[in-house]
Each structure stands twice: as structure tokens, then as C-alpha cells.
Amino acid sequence: ESPAPDREGAGGGSSPEGPPGGSPEQPPQEGVTPLGAPPAEPPREQDLYCVKWIRWKGERTPVITQSQNGPCPLLAIINILLLQWKASGAWGGSGGVKLPPQKEVITAEELMAHLGNCILATQPRDTSEGLQLNFQQNISDTMTVLPKLSTGLDVNVRFTGVSDFEYTPECIVFDLLNIPLYHGWLVDPQSPEQVQAVGKLSYNQLVEKIITCKQASDSSLVSEGLVAEQFLESTASQLTFHGLCELTARAREGELGVFFRNNHFSTIIKHQGHLYLLVTDQGFLQEEGVVWESLHSVDGDSCFCDTDFHLSHASGKEGATAAPPDHRLQQRQVDQDYMVALSLQQGQDPHSVLSDLELARQLQHEEYQQHHPHPPPQLLPAQAGGRPAGERRQRQKPDLDCTLL
């Protein structure tokens, strides 16, 4: 190891000891690198991911797993790049991501580096100044978003379509890599009261509307707010039957995408008309026959499949990737916390707001069940012709000169 060079001023001034013109060479002090910087900290346990190797389309292919079932869009995106590395040019000529065949553990920093390379490889071949400036702006925006990928992204669903999200800067990562982002939290079109109450609002906007309607003097607005509140309560799993039907109809056969539900991001694929989620729980690291988990119901009932989508011996309901049994209580708590925050901003008593909501919910539910029997939802036909990849998500774009690729 080479001795530390003389770096006058690097630490606030040179040492008073030693002859003029520089001190004699000394070995680096313990705990300090040769450049005088603190030693690099070892990766934290939560930043290390085990690699599971599977047979995918005849090739030995890695899948990144995680030990905690948390909001990690980084893994969902990286696993798509790993599964599609053979698609030549699919990622601007980068060919996706490949790992060394003996790789067993990978750090979040390494995953970020692979993702960054894939994003840079999307640079357009057109050398026109406008496109290049637009690309540079998109890259700058993406660099700001990348650190959030290992924790959680700010996405705000709209209840009108499986690809509809309120625009946030985080969405640019999916656009640059041409990865579809889906959810299944849709309003049933056969419930006109809910359609009227929810409209084209995002989740955050809908919660704000509920608070506002509670304080309205117009009885029709109060009733509309109660219907909206009942919708959130009855769909706390964030997946409705209509949403599942629409997702099945809109996703393309063989297409890999990212599915958002309950603040979690999963890799999703459509195979022979059925939807499957990639199993990334580290508990199945040694289970070669557990690769995919079916997504065919809204209540968490599912089954595991192998890499060829053949039924596995394990039941999805017992797996760690299944929806937690108390997701409705968790979502209800999220809704109430958000309402309390809005109430405090508006100078209201949050306790009175919650008690009013509880009472109103009960009364509205009784009246709704008496006068509005709910017909069984039906699968609506998919719109003819798929939308271009760049138009998958309908959202308002900021007033910027650049355009998302």
C-alpha cells in the first residue's frame, strides 16, 4: 500500500511538525485511506441482495431477491432488464443487464450502476440539437430520481385506467426504459355513484375531496364525499375486479412491466392470457420451482409456478409475496392519517372528523346496501388497437420545454 501523499490544506492546514518542504513519508493512519478520506463503509445488510439463478427461455438467468417485502422499484426494474437481456437493442443497444455467472450477492450500488448504464444507452441516434438537449434534460431529471428507487417512489394512481398515474418526475425512469407501469385500482363503471364521486381524481385529490365534502353545506356534496369514502374503504386492497379484468386485457402477451399495489412494486408478465408476478422473496432463494406467482383474484388467493408457468407444489397464499392479511386495515390507517393531516392544515379538529367519518360510513353503507344492490361486474372489451409505448400513461405534463421520450 502506497504511503499517504503530502496534502497541504486538505485537512484545514499542514502539520506544524516536520521539516520545511514536506514531512517525511509516513504510512497511512489507521482508519484513513491513502487519499486522506474516511474509509468506505461496508454495505449495510439492507443494501445487499441475494441473486437467484433460474432457467429462463433456455438460458441461466439471474433474479435479484430481497429479504424484506418493502417498496423497492429498483428490483422490479432491474429484474426486467435481467429477464430481457437477450432482446438486442431493446434498451437502446445496451442489451439489458448481464451478471457474472458466479454472482451470488449484489449491492444496491452495483444495481444502480447497471441501471444507469442502461439509461445512458437510451440516447437517441438522431444528433439534432433539440433531441439531444431533451435527452440531457431527461438524464438530469433521472439522476435526481435514482436514489429513491431503492426505497420508494412517489406515485399517485388515478382510478380511471390501469396505466393512469398523476405525473411525477419519478415516472421518467419508466419512460426512458420503455417499461410499462400498471396498477389495478379502478372504479367499477357499473357503479355510477362511485364513478361520479371519484371522477378523474388521483388518490391524493380524492382524499382531499372527502375532507372538503364533509364541511360542505350542500347535501349532495356531502353524499358524494361519503360515496368516495366508501370506495376507498371497500377497495383497500388497491385491486378491484374491474381493475384486474382491465389489466389482463390491456397488458400485451409476453410483455414485462412493473405492477404497483399497496406501496409495493413487482415485476409482472402476461403469459397465455394470464398475469403473473415475479417471486423475489429471499425465502424462496433455493426453490427452483418457485419463480412466478399468479395474479388472478383480488383477495390474495394465488398459486406459485415454475419458470415455464407450470403449477408448483407451493401455495401462493402461504408465500411471503402474497398480500398481507391486514392490508385493508393498513390502507384504512393510511387514509385516516392523510385525512388527519389535511384537517390540521385546515384548522379542523381531526378527532371530530374521524368520528364523523365513522358514523357517516356506517349510515351510508346501510343506505347504499338497501337502495343500490351491486350487480356482478363484467369484463369490458379492451379498446381496439394498443396505444403507442410513449402514450401508455395519461397524465398532465409539466410546463417544460422538454418532452419525455
Pair (75, 199) in one structural domain:
no
* Rounded Cα gap, residues 386 and 251, in angstroms: 9
Pair (203, 87) in one structural domain:
no
**Annotated catalytic residue, options 118, 213, 264, 305:** 264
Task: Give domain status of residue 128, yes or no.
Answer: yes
Task: Give domain status of residue 4, yes or no.
Answer: no
Tell me the three cell numbers of residue 143: 439522476
pLDDT-wise least confident of 24-28, 192-196, 218-222 = 24-28
Pair (140, 245) in one structural domain:
yes
Pair (171, 200) in one structural domain:
no
Task: Give domain status of residue 292, yes or no.
Answer: yes
Collapsing DSSP states into helix, strand and coil, what is residue 128? coil
Overall domain count for the chain:
2
In this prediction, residues 95-107 reach a mean pLDDT of 86
Pair (330, 213) in one structural domain:
yes
Pair (162, 289) in one structural domain:
yes
* Rounded Cα gap, residues 327 and 95, in angstroms: 38
> In the prediction, which pLDDT does 234 show?
95
* Rounded Cα gap, residues 372 and 271, in angstroms: 37
Task: Give domain status of residue 211, yes or no.
Answer: yes
Name the region of 57 (left: φ>0; alpha: ψ -120 to 50; beta: rest): left
Strand partners, 261: 264
Contact 291, 279 (CB under 8 A): yes
264 an active-site residue? yes
**Annotated catalytic residue, options 72, 118, 171, 245:** 72
Task: Give domain status of residue 14, yes or no.
Answer: no
In this prediction, residues 361-368 reach a mean pLDDT of 52
| pTM score, whole prediction | 0.68
Quick one: how far is CA 322 from the chain centroid? 16
Cα pseudo-dihedral 295, 320, 98, 313, rounded to 10? -70
pLDDT for 178 beyond 80: yes
DSSP for 221-289, please give it.
HHHHHHHHHHHHHHTTTSB-HHHHHHHHHHSPTT-EEEEEETTEEEEEEEETTEEEEE--BGGGTT-TT
Among 293, 325, 357, residue at a domain's last position = 325
Task: Give domain status of residue 387, yes or no.
Answer: no
Greater confidence (292 vs 86) lies with 292
Task: Give domain status of residue 378, yes or no.
Answer: no
72 an active-site residue? yes
Domain boundaries, position 284: 45-183+240-325
pLDDT for 94 beyond 90: no
Name the region of 112 (left: φ>0; alpha: ψ -120 to 50; beta: rest): alpha
Collapsing DSSP states into helix, strand and coil, what is residue 158? strand
Pair (146, 253) in one structural domain:
yes
pLDDT in tens, 256-297: 999 999 989 999 999 999 999 999 999 999 999 999 999 999
Pair (321, 334) in one structural domain:
no
Pair (81, 157) in one structural domain:
yes
pLDDT mean across residues, the chain: 75
Which H or E run contains 211? Answer: helix 203-214
Greater confidence (374 vs 54) lies with 54
Q: Phi and psi for 67 in degrees, rounded to 5?
A: -90, -20
pLDDT in tens, 68-84: 765 589 999 999 999 98
Pair (260, 358) in one structural domain:
no
In this prediction, residues 319-343 reach a mean pLDDT of 50
Pair (333, 321) in one structural domain:
no
Pairing of strands 256-261, 264-271: antiparallel
Task: Give domain status of residue 24, yes or no.
Answer: no
Pair (282, 168) in one structural domain:
yes
